[in-house]
Structure 1
Amino acid sequence: MNPPSQAHALFALSIPDYLNGEADGSIRHEYIDGQVYAMAGGSARHNLIAVNVGSLLDTRLPETCEVFVADMKVRIHRIDDSRFYYPDVMACCREEDKEAYYRESPCLIIEVLSDATERPNRLEIHRFEKFQAYRQLETLQEYLLLNQHYPEATLFRRRNAWQAEIYRKGTFRLESVDVTVSFDVLYRRVRF
């Protein structure tokens, strides 16, 4: 996901107005309970990693699954809070989840960690704010964070009570989509 470029919410907005604005606009925004945050572009490394993992998943998943890279929102809706984020990569395998501009039932979310933001510590945002929100998605089985500054993958699995598994070389398995991931593929063409 590309980071928000402003630490301040621009203004409060209803969900229908937010979705209409996102459909018509060229700048993406995160939506957190009525507050809208502009998004900044990602680095070349960030984009290469996201495309690499998205391409791998797209070629390995069955036709019943969809893989989205960067421009599809995920919606987290609770009684007292609604959020829309743009994960870097998201896999969705539920046929009934077919909104035009967002999904609500991903089984896998992948984020490439970014450091270009004015919001507090990007790693903290991914690991805490978003992680807490994503865990509310009943269908989410795995959450993967990829470092763009050196080869490292931090994988959280629902079945392991969301405990971190850290990988730095070789391969690891994404059980939610039954795909083995190689660091050679993840970091193909990425220069550190």
Structure 2
Amino acid sequence: MPLLGRGPALRGRAFPRPSSKWIICEQSARIRRFDSPPPRSAASRTVRQWRSLRSLIWGLALNSAIVRGVREVLYVALGGSLGAVSRYGISEWARRRLGDALPWGTLFVNVVGSLLLGLLLGLALREVGTRGHRAAFGTGFLGAFTTFSTFSNETVLMYQQGKLTGAVLNVVLNLVAGIGAAIAGLWLASKVPIR
């Protein structure tokens, strides 16, 4: 690698034309061919700088709002899939065991879900748990576990089949037991000791 010198020693020397294969390295005031390999120490310094830059970029990316948002969406998706499968299993079990007089499975998941969501809300008000936990369990699992739409459709179907007493009983049980369970969940959360 040709070395012309540093500082004032470069004055008065003819610099290569820009079209040639020579380049001026500003950091060391050296002129060298740009197709020649950089000095070993410069290469290792470049690698170290690249690694630290890469670490900085990954650190910023993993903690950015976008990635946190994506992470929460994944938590909700995971919790939602578990909640939906749980609701399906409980509804099928209740239909086989308790019969079709009332939609017992839907009543059970709505009441238990209201209790658990009340408990989760009460703990969140006391700043227990992380946003990711609340997203996974509250929005994801309990959002898929409980079902207002199935409750509404089962009630309308019972009414259309002439089961007026069953339809009214279904509405009363879901509303009274669900709201009572939510109140009980909030009360339980207030009794949980927090460290």
**TM-score normalised by the chain length of structure 2:** 0.20
Higher normalized strand content (fraction of residues): 1
Structure with max Cα Rg: 2
Instruction: Select the structure with the greater relative contact order (CA < 8 A; seq sep ≥ 6).
Output: 2
Higher normalized helix content (fraction of residues): 2
